Amino acid sequence: MLIRGVAVIRKPEEGVIPKADVVIEGRRYMAVVEEGGVEGDFDRVIEGEGRLLIPGLVNAHTHLAMTLFRGLADDLPLMRWLEEKIWPAERKLTPEDVYWFSLLGLAEMIRAGTTAFADMYFFMEEVGQAVEEAGLRALLSYGIIAPTPDKVEPELKKAERFAREWDGQADGRIRAAFSPHAPYTCGPEVWKQATALARELKV
């Protein structure tokens, strides 16, 4: 594929090419040169005049499946927002909901130029499936919520199972991590064990 005559922003030390031809094969940039510097036939040509090509953006904190919760109970204090609005809504979510809501969030990110992101939630297998289909890069983790001692072991097991099964999937585009939800939902023991598991699995 050729993008012709597009303005390209590169690394700060490399500056801007006001009009460039960009050759892409598969998922890789093969050439970025001054306009007119590429010859040959291409399966697809995109006219880049008046457009800007930038490195992919990275969203370092998201919960894709919450896309449809946007605007739900704005302006509430955090704990009221969680306890009265978000957690009750999340209890009704199904794995299929999380898959479709994640696809919607992925479509929004693609449209905005985001190519990589970090996500922590539940039903993460469905999030992983959506990422596989959408083609982005992702750091995914099961969101560990263990406010009481009886929750610690089962939550850590869910997180470990996800990390073992999904790290490196989608031709390496998906990496796994361990993500205790927050200090107010996970005690010190959860953080210690999650850290140990992450080191063991090298994630």
Burial of 43 (0-12, 13-18, 19+ CB in 10 A): exposed
Residue written as token pair 């370092």: 60
- Could you tell me the CATH number of the domain that includes residue 179? 3.20.20.140
Q: What is the pLDDT of residue 198?
A: 98
**If we measure between CA atoms, which residue out of 184, 190, 174, 88 comes closest to residue 130?**
174
| Same domain as 85, residue 123 | yes
Count structural domains, the chain: 2
Helix (H) or strand (E) holding 152, with range, is helix 149-166
Query: With pLDDT > 90 as the criterion, what percentage of the chain qualifies?
Result: 83
Q: What is the domain extent for residue 183?
A: 57-201
3-state secondary structure of 156: helix
Q: Please indicate whether residue 105 or residue 11 has the higher confidence score (pLDDT).
A: 105
| Same domain as 115, residue 40 | no
Decide if pLDDT at 153 tops 90: yes
| Same domain as 77, residue 16 | no
| Same domain as 68, residue 27 | no
| Same domain as 46, residue 108 | no
Burial of 158 (0-12, 13-18, 19+ CB in 10 A): middle
pLDDT digits (tens, 9 = 90+) for 31-71: 888 888 888 889 999 999 999 998 899 999 999 999 999 98
| Same domain as 72, residue 11 | no
Q: At what angle do helices 124-134 and 149-166 cross, to 10 degrees?
A: 20
Counting every residue written for the chain, the total comes to 203
| Same domain as 173, residue 80 | yes
Q: What is the pLDDT of residue 147?
A: 94
| Same domain as 184, residue 143 | yes
pTM as predicted: 0.87
**End-to-end Cα, the chain, rounded Å:** 34
Give 44's contacts (C-beta < 8 A, 6+ positions apart). 1, 2
| Same domain as 83, residue 14 | no
